[in-house]
Amino acid sequence: MSLTRAVRSATPQDPPSAARRGVPAGVPGATLRNVVALVVVLVVLIGWQLATTVTGTSVTVLPSPTQILGQADWSAIASAAAHTLLATVLGFVIGNLVGLALAIVITASRAISDIVYPLAVVIRSVPVVALAPFIILVFGRGSSAATAVAALIVFFPTLVNVVLGLRSVPAEVHELTAVINASTVFEYTRIRIPFALPAFVSALKISAPNAVLGVMTAEWVLGGNGLGRLVVQSWLGLEVPTMWGGVIVSALVAWLLFSAIGLAERTLLTWAVRT
């Protein structure tokens, strides 16, 4: 068996057709899921509106969707969302690149793995609040600190998942690379990294919402002009519609990042998508 044939045989096969999954012909699975998600969101919003209207809930306790839409300071929310989105994307990219690089180094060297892996676990187990003085000392306050927090949060899931993916190459493929005396660069670029891509994408999906939450927490604790600070200030100032507007926009930012990763997965890793 050739090396190429062995790799292909270990690669996940194409996903089953829509008809075999029980999905009606002519209705793409992604479209059906989007319609279901939209219906669920609409039902929740309608139920929320009806519940607050019928019970007469005060706007300072729980505003209705229409009150949030009409009374929130959307200009302030948009400005804060831009800061949060920038810090999130930068931290997300930096953290995942660091995690990917460390995963490759760890799997390439046992000695480095024994040093780096435990250190990464220790760093990730320390609460961000406890690291605040060090982050402020290195990065100062504001967007730079928020970016650093996002990077710290996302790098560990990527590290763990990619290490698992890089080590998931079947034994027969390893044997063939040894037989043909393949170089380390060839082994990683042609075999290990392609096998690790699905695990890497899974880590990205896990990290996306966590990055937004990390940035908002950093903006509250370490200072900044993003949604984290806006939500806290609005709550303290009893500007509850603005607070809820910031919360909803932060959820939309996380959803957009998650959806972008899913779209990239379906476009670039069609061989690995099973549903």
Q: What is the pLDDT of residue 274?
A: 52
DSSP letters, 221-271, are HT--SSHHHHHHHHHHTT-HHHHHHHHHHHHHHHHHHHHHHHHHHHHH-TT
Closest by alpha carbon to 196, among 53, 123, 99? Answer: 99
Q: What is the pLDDT of residue 139?
A: 85
Q: Is the pLDDT of residue 28 over 80?
A: no
Segment holding 97, helix H or strand E: helix 74-108
Cβ-contact 234, 240 below 8 angstroms: yes
If one compares 30 and 93, the residue with the highest pLDDT of the two is 93
Q: What is the pLDDT of residue 142?
A: 79
Quick: pLDDT tens for 116-175: 888 888 877 887 777 778 888 888 887 888 899 889 888 888 998 888 888 887 777 767
63-268, which class in CATH?
mainly alpha
Domain boundaries, the chain: 63-268
